[in-house]
Amino acid sequence: MAVIVPESLESALAALTAYPDAAVLAGGTDLMVEVNDGRRPLTRVVAVGRVPELTGIRVDGATVVIGAATTFAQLERDPVAELVPALAYAARTVGSPQIRNAATIGGNVATASPAGDALPVLVALGASVEIAGGNRRRLVPIADYFTGPKRSVLDAGELVVAVQVPVLRGAQDYLKVGVRNAMVIAVASLAIAVDLEARRVGIGLGSVGPTPLAAPEACSWVASRARWRSDGVEVADEDVVEFGERVAGAARPIDDHRGTARYRRHAVSVMARRALRRCTR
C-alpha cells in the first residue's frame, strides 16, 4: 500500500486528484477500524496530519477556526475550553486518552456519524465546515452539511480543512448518555449553547436520528419565553419542562441494539431540561 504524506494543502489536494481511489487518513481511529474489519480495502492513503493548513486553532474576531487535524486532546484545552466550552466538554467524553490523542475533529466531521460527539456541539453553535477540493473552496453551514447516516456533502477528492465556530457570550453544555460513563458511543447526546447577544438558545442532538439534529422550534419557543438579562437568562420551571418535551419532539430516534426509540426520546427530554437548568438562572 502506498502512503503519501503531503506537506501542504495544495499537494494533498493534488494527490487526491491524481489518485481518486486514495483514502484520507487523519488519526485513523475510524478508518483503521473499517480496514481491520475488511470493510474498506486500501490501495493508497493520503495522510493529512502534516498539512499545516489543517493544523492549529486560531481566533479570528468572533470565530474560532479549528484545523481539521486538531485532536480531541487539543480540544479539551484552551483556547477551545475557554471560548467554546461545550466542544471541550464533548471532547472529554470521546473514547480513551489514547483515542483522544489521535482522533481529530476533521475525522469526526468527515465520518458524519449521528453519534459523533463533536457534531451536536457544532449544530448547537451554528458552526460551518471549510471544505477544499481541486480549485474549489467552500464554506458549508453545518445545517446543510449532513445528508444521511454517515453521509455528507463532502465529495470524493475533497478535504475538510477546518471548522469555523462562533464565539458566543453565554453558557454552554454537552450531555451524553451511554451504557457506561466512559469509552462509550452515545445512545443519545445533547449540546446546548446560549447566545446572550442574539437572545437565542441553540440545541444539537446526537444518536437520535439519521444525522445530528437541531431543535429550532423548541429553541425559538424557549427564547420567546425566557427573561433575558445582560448577564444571564431565566426560564420558568414549567417552561423548562415544556422545553424538554419540545426538544424530544425534534428527535427522530430508532430502536437498535444500544437502546429503544422510546428510551432515547425520554433521555433527550431529561438532558434538555438538565442542560437548560444548568445554563440559566
* Residue 22 binding ligand FAD, by CB under 6 A: no
Q: Which is nearer to ligand FAD, 73 or 185 (CB)?
A: 185
Given candidates 103, 122, 203, 272, which one binds ligand FAD under the rule CB under 6 A?
Answer: 103
Could you tell me where the DSSP H helices lie in 126-230?
Answer: 216-225
First to last CA, the chain: 57
Selection from 248, 108, 123, 117 nearest residue 178 by Cα: 117
Q: What is the spatial distance between Cα 2 and Cα 40, in angstroms, rounded to a whole number? A: 15
* Residue 204 binding ligand FAD, by CB under 6 A: no
Residues of this chain, 53-72, that bind ligand FAD according to CB under 6 A: 54, 68
Q: Which is nearer to ligand FAD, 117 or 239 (CB)?
A: 117
Q: What is the spatial distance between Cα 152 and Cα 211, in angstroms, rounded to a whole number? A: 9
Q: Which is nearer to ligand FAD, 68 or 201 (CB)?
A: 68
Given candidates 11, 19, 28, 209, which one binds ligand FAD under the rule CB under 6 A?
Answer: 28
**Quick check: 268 and 188 in contact, CB under 8 A?**
yes
Q: Which is nearer to ligand FAD, 76 or 117 (CB)?
A: 117
DSSP string, 101-128: HH-BHHHHHHHT-TT-THHHHHHHHT-E
* Residue 164 binding ligand FAD, by CB under 6 A: no
Please provide residue 259's backbone torsions phi and psi, each rounded to the nearest 5 degrees: 175, 165
Q: Which is nearer to ligand FAD, 120 or 170 (CB)?
A: 120
* Residue 187 binding ligand FAD, by CB under 6 A: no
The contact set with ligand FAD (CB under 6 A) reads 23-31, 33, 48, 54, 68, 94-95, 99, 102-104, 106-108, 110-111, 116-117, 159-160, 185
